[in-house]
Amino acid sequence: MKQTRILHLLQSNRPVDNVIIKGWVRTRRDAKGFSFIEVNDGSCLKNMQVIADSSLVNYKEITKLSTGSAVAVTGSLMESPGKGQKWELKADGLEILSLTPDTFPLQKKRHSDEFLRTIAHLRPRTNKYSAVFRIRSELSFAIHKFFKDRGFKYIHTPVLTASDCEGAGELFKVTTLDLDSVPKKDGKTDFSLDFFGAATSLTVSGQLSAEMFALALGDVYTFGPTFRAENSNTSRHVAEFWMVEPEMAFSDLNDAMDLSEEFLKYLTGYVMDECVDDLELFAKYVDKNLMKTLEGLITSDFTRLSYKEAMEILSKSGQTFEFEVGFGKDLQSEHERYLTEHYFKKPVIIYDYPKNIRPFYMRINDDNKTVAAMDVLVPNIGEIIGGSQREERINVLEARLDKLGLSKKDYWWYVESRRYGSAYHSGFGLGFERLLMFLTGVTNIRDVIPFPRTPSSISF
């Protein structure tokens, strides 16, 4: 007989005979003549309360059931006379699939996130982490649905790459060379003998590849892992993270801003509708203001202001910042947080950044000082989206590469896309984990990704 998921059973509107559930024991409470066993199968936050009567042949073993044990229970779904739940499963049979020894590190009580990170292979068995990863799954689906509904095509951009996308971030090198005896030529590593015949690394962004496809299929997006070998030790950085990058042909900076706002509102609304129970856990135990923040995002129009205007607000704010405010300087975390959390108290889009603090592919504005770039800032997180209109004029692009000392040869295919049928286009990148942090109120990025990769930490 096939198991029924607990999620499904708890939504039942009538008693059901002859069902089977399979899951893990969260806790057992013995009563006179029977035992209450809370079973969770991961389909939802809630447990199924199983009633195991002492008449069961293996009742003696059942009263030894420990937290974490795997069981299969057959029985009848009945209305519960107790208070905490509508339904319970009266067991006809309870098979102990595996009995967990008392060294099982998870208890019914709350654990610290720091401790759970040290047992990342077991933490999805807790309420909080199962909720995080169910939401992560729903959110992934919502991303695909959003784009599909709008005619975007999903592009699988490569993970292995020879080009350093933006000069952004340190790269993880990929090689099959024998590291104990690396072939040298003129004192340097001879990558012509490597697997691809060229220096290779893990991608830091799918954007450049996505642009090629936008200039063919129109509206496209990528959604996949990216890798940065930066020695960042913060609650907002991991070395392997997932990024969503839409790219739209015949689209300018305003279109990108419009899409980013619509996108964030859609995803927030989707999770609020589809993950009610899981979200409630975060609103109750992680961030008391969570629902207010999420509703705020959905209902408010994002404030849009230029970098110049943002600078004026900051310098007139009367606030003392650790970092100086001034044109040509990038916005620091404290500036972003002041704008979105204190001044506007809602999401803010800042656009037209000075060109000298932005990468080569962003389109230079007519003032020749700024580029058509935009960042979306949200409360609690800061920058969640960064995007731009791309430079479609081949002469301007080549001049920019030269000026920044980047090799036109390395980017030959990228430049060539501007030679043949070039068209204005724009796009942005959204940090998937940062969005999850925003939606759950979880404050450490290590806790919204299954197995976080951070400097000197890759045990799992």
Q: Cα(12)–Cα(454) distance, rounded to whole angstroms?
A: 43
Judged by beta carbon, residue 113 or residue 258, the one nearer RNA is 113
Q: How many CB atoms lie within 10 A of CB 170?
A: 15
Question: By CB under 7 A, is residue 192 in contact with RNA?
Answer: no
In the complex, minimum distance from the CB of residue 93 to RNA, in angstroms, rounded to a whole number: 17
Question: By CB under 7 A, is residue 390 in contact with RNA?
Answer: no
Question: By CB under 7 A, is residue 228 in contact with RNA?
Answer: yes
Task: Point out which span in 125-133, 166-174, 263-271, 293-301 binds RNA (CB under 7 A).
Answer: 166-174
Judged by beta carbon, residue 232 or residue 300, the one nearer RNA is 232
Convert 142-168 to b/e letters by CB count within 10 Å (16 or more is b). bbeebbeeeebeebebeeebebbbbee
Q: Quick one: which of 384, 397, 401, 448 contacts RNA (CB under 7 A)?
A: 384
Question: By CB under 7 A, is residue 239 in contact with RNA?
Answer: yes
Q: How far apart are the first and last CA of the chain?
A: 35
Q: Quick one: which of 4, 49, 370, 389 contacts RNA (CB under 7 A)?
A: 49
Binding mask 351-380 for RNA (x = CB under 7 A): ------------------------------
In the complex, minimum distance from the CB of residue 449 to RNA, in angstroms, rounded to a whole number: 9
Q: Cα(329)–Cα(420) distance, rounded to whole angstroms?
A: 36
Judged by beta carbon, residue 237 or residue 425, the one nearer RNA is 237
Question: By CB under 7 A, is residue 32 in contact with RNA?
Answer: yes
In the complex, minimum distance from the CB of residue 454 to RNA, in angstroms, rounded to a whole number: 7
In the complex, minimum distance from the CB of residue 70 to RNA, in angstroms, rounded to a whole number: 16
In the complex, minimum distance from the CB of residue 367 to RNA, in angstroms, rounded to a whole number: 22
The closest of 425, 391, 426 to 411, measured between CA atoms, is: 391
Residues 431 to 450 in contact with RNA, rule: CB under 7 A: 431, 433-434, 443-446
Question: By CB under 7 A, is residue 326 in contact with RNA?
Answer: no
Judged by beta carbon, residue 85 or residue 422, the one nearer RNA is 85
In the complex, minimum distance from the CB of residue 90 to RNA, in angstroms, rounded to a whole number: 7
Binding mask 256-285 for RNA (x = CB under 7 A): ------------------------------
Question: By CB under 7 A, is residue 456 in contact with RNA?
Answer: yes
Question: By CB under 7 A, is residue 128 in contact with RNA?
Answer: no
In the complex, minimum distance from the CB of residue 103 to RNA, in angstroms, rounded to a whole number: 7
Residues 71 to 110 in contact with RNA, rule: CB under 7 A: 80-85, 88, 102, 105, 107-110
In the complex, minimum distance from the CB of residue 164 to RNA, in angstroms, rounded to a whole number: 13
**Hey, what are 116's tokens?**
């759970």
In the complex, minimum distance from the CB of residue 411 to RNA, in angstroms, rounded to a whole number: 17
Q: Are 347 and 264 in contact (CB under 8 A)?
A: yes
Convert 200-234 to b/e letters by CB count within 10 Å (16 or more is b). bbbbbbbbbbbbbbbbeebbbbbbbebbbeeeeee
Q: Cα(21)–Cα(73) distance, rounded to whole angstroms?
A: 5
The closest of 405, 330, 441 to 164, measured between CA atoms, is: 405
Q: How many residues form the binding site for RNA (CB under 7 A)?
A: 69
Q: Quick one: which of 271, 339, 430, 439 contacts RNA (CB under 7 A)?
A: 430
Q: Quick one: which of 252, 334, 398, 410 contacts RNA (CB under 7 A)?
A: 334
In the complex, minimum distance from the CB of residue 197 to RNA, in angstroms, rounded to a whole number: 29
- Which residues touch 176 (CB under 8 Å, ≥6 apart)? 194, 195
Judged by beta carbon, residue 194 or residue 339, the one nearer RNA is 339
The closest of 388, 361, 392 to 376, measured between CA atoms, is: 388
Residues that bind RNA (CB under 7 A): 27, 29-32, 36, 38, 49, 51, 64, 66-67, 80-85, 88, 102, 105, 107-112, 114-115, 117, 166, 168-169, 205, 228, 230-239, 241, 243, 322-323, 330, 332-334, 382-386, 429-431, 433-434, 443-446, 456-457
